[in-house]
Amino acid sequence: MKRFKTTKGLIGIFLLTIIALVAILGPMILPPDAATKMDMLARRSPPNWNHLLGTDQLGRDMLARVILGARTSLEIAVSAVLMSIVLGLPLGLVSGYSGGWNDNVLMRLVDTLLAFPALLLALTISAVLGPNVQNTIIAIGVAFTPYLARIIRGEALKVAQMPYVEAARASGTTDGMIMLRHVLPNILPAVIVQATISLAFAILAEAGLSFLGLGTQPPAASWGLMIQASRDQLDVAPWTALVPGAAVALTVLGLNMFGDVLRDILDPKSK
Amino acid sequence: MTYVVNRLLSVILTLFLITLVTFAVTNILPGDVAMMIMGTQSNEAALEGLRQSLGLNDPLIVQYGRWIGGLLTGDLGNSLIFKKPIAELLVQKAVASAIIVVMSMTIALALAVPLGVWAAVHRDKWQDTVSSSASLMGVSLPDFFWGIVMILVFARWLVWFPSSGIVEPSEDFLGALRYAFLPSLALGLGLMAHLTRMTRSTMTGILGQEFICVARAKGLTERTVIWRYALGNAIGPVITIAGLQIGYLFGSIIVMESLFGYTGMGWLTYQALLNRDLPLIQATVVVIAAVVMITNLLVDLLYVLIDPRVKLG
């Protein structure tokens, strides 16, 4: 199992590196119209030498689209998770460290938000704001905030009871300083682990939102949009679903593998 | 008894907060409801007329009061797209979705528990690797992707199940189950992955404890030790996680019901969101959040029944 874990971590890092490189370098290398150019004579053509992963219903190259989709999907996922950290970190930190009424009120609010399925909350926000890339980020970011706040609060609560925090308090350090200097660095490992896992969920959420037409809008390329477009042509062109599906799966798999190993390293207690 | 009363009070408070959050999200965020309904191209006079008739010019607190009053008396207003009372729509769709929720949870548990136990018993062997890899794979694919695969395999190639549609359970119960099966299976597979991981880790912890050693030393069969002693202790946490997954499930049915053209609550929510039918959005969102919260409460209470060590009070 130990070897399995190391292998798992390596596979995870390998997958993530490849995908990050593709997402960053791909759009630079590809000609600007690679993902939108329609080859009307080669519509729904299966993978071949001209189109390595085949073409979609408009004769657009699947490889180019899946590469550009990587950028969209990753950009949205990373921004959304960063947003949920920016919102959830202060919430959880203050709640867990100060306890008492602050904690009660803040956690009641967080618990209420947790009753809304994350996807439902994201869909509703996106529908109300109007679906586009920026609002998709906001929708997913807000929807993920309560989960992050809850976990950070739990960690902060543990750290707040440590002798070194007590010592800092006894020596007259202000609460703000203690949170920043002593509590924050000690909960960071947990935040990083959670961020990795959230990133996996954010990729899935973006795909779900776009699949339902309430995320990224056409003609932009996003994995969820590509799967949606494939729905009506499954029998004749299954690769149009399998290619973006595999892209989502490999990315999320990479993040999950990496997250599992990261947790074992950064947070050995949870084993 | 104090525990139950406290929980009930907190349920009422949370329900109140749920309505507040729903109202806030759908009202305070930028965006003009009248324009959402009529489109950006409509003329100002018509928009103003609609705002007036929907009471959108009243202060927010008045609008909220009116809405809450309606909720409490069961009058949720009319859906703008279906032109029907929302309460009627909800009751009708809730049954269809209940079938999917129960069916997918049953499928998930029926597969996840044995698989997790199998992995834990053969810890660090190939069986464990297979089970862990399979569940890792399962959590890594969006469930609508499973849905597409199900349609392809079971509806198009094998033609065992219909690829879309719904049958009213009151008309033909078995038919209703047939239509609910594929979406439930797709949802169940996604859920299964999470539950397998949970079962494995809980079982692994318990199998390492002393009372398991004692049970084996007493000469009990391996079957009794694993399925009665160990699983009996592991099932509590697994049920808790399953309960927490209900929230996830209610998010996923929106995607899955839309994919399968299965007209339940998820599909209704999606139609409301897509067409910006504000009264219907508010109603479905509140109802789903309330159902999720109440299910979690019931699971907590169920836990007490399953695990005698947890006492109320």
**pTM, rounded to two decimals:** 0.85
Calculate the average pLDDT of chain B: 82
Distance CA A125, CA A262 (A): 32
Residue corresponding to tokens 């504000």? B278
Question: B-chain residues within 8 Å CB-CB of A207?
Answer: 142, 144
Q: Which residue of chain A comes nearest to B125, CA vs CA? A: A1
Least confident of A39-43, B30-34, B115-119, B233-237: B30-34
User: Chain A residues with CB inside 8 Å of B147's CB?
Assistant: none
Cβ contacts of B144 on chain A, cutoff 8 Å: 207-208, 211, 227
Query: Cβ contact (<8 Å) for A115 and B289?
Result: yes
pLDDT, tens digit, for every residue of B143-202? 888 888 888 888 777 878 777 777 777 777 777 777 888 889 889 888 888 888 888 888
Residue A220 reports pLDDT greater than 70: yes
Q: Which of A188-202, B128-142, B268-282 has the lowest mean pLDDT?
A: B128-142
Q: Does A271 touch chain B (CB under 8 A)?
A: no
- A271 falls in which pLDDT band (50, 70, 90)? very low
Contact A46, A107 (CB under 8 A): no
Does the beta carbon of A112 lie under 8 angstroms from any beta carbon of chain B? yes
Chain B: residue nearest A203 by CA?
Answer: B142
pLDDT of residue B308: 66
The torsion defined by the Cα of A267, A194, B234 and A111, in degrees rounded to 10, comes to 130
pLDDT one-digit tens code per residue, B59-80: 888 888 888 888 888 788 888 7
Q: B140 contacts in A (CB within 8 Å)?
A: 200, 248-250, 252-253, 256
A34 falls in which pLDDT band (50, 70, 90)?
low
A99 and chain B in contact, CB less than 8 A: no
| A256 to B139: CB separation less than 8 angstroms, yes or no | yes
User: Contact A108/B290, CB-based, under 8 Å?
Assistant: no
Most confidently predicted of B202-206, B237-241, B263-267 = B263-267
Mean pLDDT (whole number) for B88-116: 88
Helices A118-129 and B2-27, interaxial angle, to 10°? Answer: 20
> HEC profile for A121-135?
HHHHHHHHHCCCHHH
pLDDT at site B293: 86
Task: Report pLDDT digits (tens) over A5-20.
Answer: 677 788 888 888 888 8
Over residues B253-276, the pLDDT tens digits come to 998 888 888 888 999 999 988 888
Residue A157, pLDDT above cutoff 60: yes
Confidence at A3, pLDDT banded by 50, 70, 90: low
Whether residue B84 has pLDDT greater than 80: yes
ipTM computed for the complex: 0.82
pLDDT at A268: 58
Quick check: B29 and A214 CB within 8 A?
A: no
What percentage of chain A carries pLDDT values higher than 70? 92
Q: What pLDDT, on the 0 to 100 scale, is given for residue A56?
A: 73
Q: What are phi and psi of B307, to 5 degrees?
A: -110, 105
Confidence class of residue A84 from pLDDT cuts 50, 70 and 90?
A: very high
pLDDT given at position B313: 43
Contact call for B25 and A128, based on CB within 8 A: yes
**Chain B contact present for A13, CB below 8 A:** no
Token pair belonging to A152: 């950070």
Q: Please give the Cα distance from B122 to B128 (Å, whole number).
A: 6
Amino acid, res. A51:
H
Q: What is the predicted pLDDT for the residue at A242?
A: 83
Mean pLDDT of A152-161: 87
Which residue in the set A124, A245, A256 is minimally distant from B136, CB to CB? A256
By mean pLDDT, which of A97-101, A208-212, A244-248, B152-156 is the weakest?
Answer: B152-156
- For the segment A135-159, the average pLDDT, to the nearest whole number, is 90
- A236: which residues sit within 8 A by CB, 6+ positions away? A44
Name the residue with higher pLDDT: B308 or B218.
B218
pLDDT for A140: 94
Binning pLDDT at 50, 70 and 90, where does residue B57 land? Answer: confident
> Is A115 in contact with B14 (Cβ distance < 8 A)?
yes
CA distances from B42 to A132, B8, B33, B76 (A): 22, 47, 13, 27
Could you tell me what percent of chain B has a pLDDT over 70?
Answer: 94
Whether residue A85 contacts residue A109, with contact meaning beta carbons closer than 8 Å, is answered with: no
**Residue B165: per-residue pLDDT:** 76
- Top-confidence residue, A165 or A203: A203
Residue A77 has pLDDT above 90, yes or no: yes
Per-residue H/E/C for chain B: CHHHHHHHHHHHHHHHHHHHHHHHHHHCCCCCHHHHHHCCCCCHHHHHHHHHHHCCCCCHHHHHHHHHHHHHCCCCCECCCCCCEHHHHHHHHHHHHHHHHHHHHHHHHHHHHHHHHHHHHCCCCHHHHHHHHHHHHHHHCCHHHHHHHHHHHHHHHCCCCCCCCCCCCCCCHHHHHHHHHHHHHHHHHHHHHHHHHHHHHHHHHHHCCHHHHHHHHCCCCHHHHHHHHHHHHHHHHHHHHHHHHHHHHHHHHHHHHHHCCCCCHHHHHHHHHHCCCHHHHHHHHHHHHHHHHHHHHHHHHHHHHHCCCCCCC
Report which of A18, A61, A14, A17 is spatially closest to residue A38, judged by C-alpha positions.
Answer: A61
